[in-house]
Structure 1
Amino acid sequence: MKITLDEINNEQMDVLKEIGNIGAGNATTALATMLNKRIDMKVPKVDILEFNEVTELLGGAEKKICGINFDVDGDINGNIMFLLNMDSSKKLANMLMNKEDHVEELSEWDISALQEVGNILSGAYVRSLTTLTQLDMKISIPSLTVDMAGAILSVPIIQYGQVGDKVLLIETELNEGNNNIKGYFFLIPDVESFEILLKSLGVLE
């Protein structure tokens, strides 16, 4: 029988939380290097939540958000999503494009910049996983969607519902000057990959 996120024990949860902390820290360092700015990160909150709890955390199913999605393949298959509410999306776009004025809507240039930063953040996160697990993982070119939270989250729910109705969520908060940006990473491995991940970390026989 395959293990799912619904069935993990405290030891396994602690290891997954530590991976979340390391991954988020490396992602923040990568962003600071890219921007050549000092970026502070609050200690990430790592939790296992049901999809509907993630939706509520983002403000409800009808709340407009920005979602950057990646396919993961190699020794592990699945998805990584990086989610931002619209306020954080605009602040991050301003920071990336070096703009002072608060934008009302994201332009094509803003969306392109957000895709690139999502690529850098997720790449840093995956490299952390690769280093810790010695597993080979690659991520696809990112796809960015601005839509209601319910619509964006329906994709992984349909694709990976067999892993259970829960995801490993990493809530990160970044601060640069007066900019406060809150983002959410989550990793959704398929059933076989989740077992491989836990075994590689030494917390599953």
Structure 2
Amino acid sequence: MATGFAQHAELDALTEACNIGMAHAATALSQLMGKGVAIQAPRLQVVEGPEICASLCDEPVRALHLQILGNVRGSIVILLKEADARRMLELLLGGGESAGPLNEMEVSTLKEVGNILASACLNALGLLLKMTLLPSVPTLVSGEAAQVLPLVVDRSCGKEPVFMVDTVFSICDTFCGGSLFLMPAPDSIPAMMSALK
């Protein structure tokens, strides 16, 4: 666990922003898919890059990677274990779970989910910080966590802190887990912390 990075009040404010963002994302996903989507209140913690890799080992994952544009620079990674990603696609698109490569519609759907989650989170965070934050177009990277994470977590070998948001999606009363990693660029962190004080 990274320490000395933010005070409890600052983390509480970020957690509240994440709660608001996830609630907005659930509404957007419900409207897009025509299905009831709920997102449980996320748990936010501050970790360091190596802790992320160690927690997943050789799990197969799907990672959606987006750049943060605007007053704060950095990146967002939305990480889904393979089983959760396929369960989410089954629920959103209908039909049974497949074991083969994702088709074009499935890839597009996962990217749209990533875009909605990142946009909602950044909108809520931007309101909190009184800054403009926008996501780039997402890219999807798949494979075992040990290979995927160094490609998308740009501080996997460093000591810079990462905001990790663990959350659970409920789609038509079926649960899927996921994690969102908010990684502000090192030179953006002081401005974020100052705005939170």
**What percent identity do the matched residue pairs reach?**
24
Q: Superposition pairs for residues 11-30 of structure 1, below 5 Å?
A: 11-30=9-28
C-alpha deviation, 1:47, in angstroms: 1.1
How far 1:199 sits from its partner (Å)?
1.7
Give 1:166's aligned residue. Answer: 161
Contact between 2:6 and 2:193, CA under 8 Å: does it hold in 1?
no
Give TM-score scaled by structure 1 length. 0.85
| Letter paired with 2:151 | V
Encode CA deviations 1:151-178: one digit per residue, 9 max, x unaligned.
222135545866x343111111011235
Partner SS state of residue 130, structure 1: helix
Length-normalised TM-score, structure 2 = 0.88
1:140 equivalenced with 2:136 (yes/no) = yes
CA root-mean-square deviation: 2.1
| 2:177 corresponds to which of 179, 182, 188 | 182
How has the CA–CA distance of structure 1 residues 186 and 138 changed in structure 2, closer, same or farther, with 3 Å as cutoff? same
Detail structure 1 runs of 4+ shifted over 6 Å in the superposition. none
SS in 1 for 2:148: helix
Name the CA distance, whole Å, in 1 between partners of 2:17 and 2:146: 27
Q: Report what 1:55 is aligned to.
A: 53
Counterparts of residues 72-91 of structure 1 (less than 5 Å): 72-91=68-87
Q: Which residue of 1 aligns with 2:105?
A: 109
Across the two proteins, how many residue pairs are aligned to each other? 195
Aligned partners of 2:50 and 2:157 also within 8 Å: no
Q: Per-residue displacement from partner, 1:16-41 (whole Å, max 9, x unpaired)?
A: 22222222222222211211222222
- In 2, distance between residues paired with 1:150 and 1:6? 28
1:119–1:141 Cα contact (<8 Å) kept: yes
Contact 1:48–1:169 (CA under 8 A) maintained in structure 2: yes
Ranges in structure 2 where 5+ consecutive residues have no aligned partner: none
Task: In structure 1, give the amino acid aligned to 2:9.
Answer: E
Residue by residue over 1:114-173, the C-alpha shift from the partner in whole angstroms, topping out at 9 and shown as x without a partner, is 1112111111111111222221122111100112212222135545866x3431111110
Structure 1 position 192, deviation (Å):
1.9
Unaligned runs of 5+ in 1: none
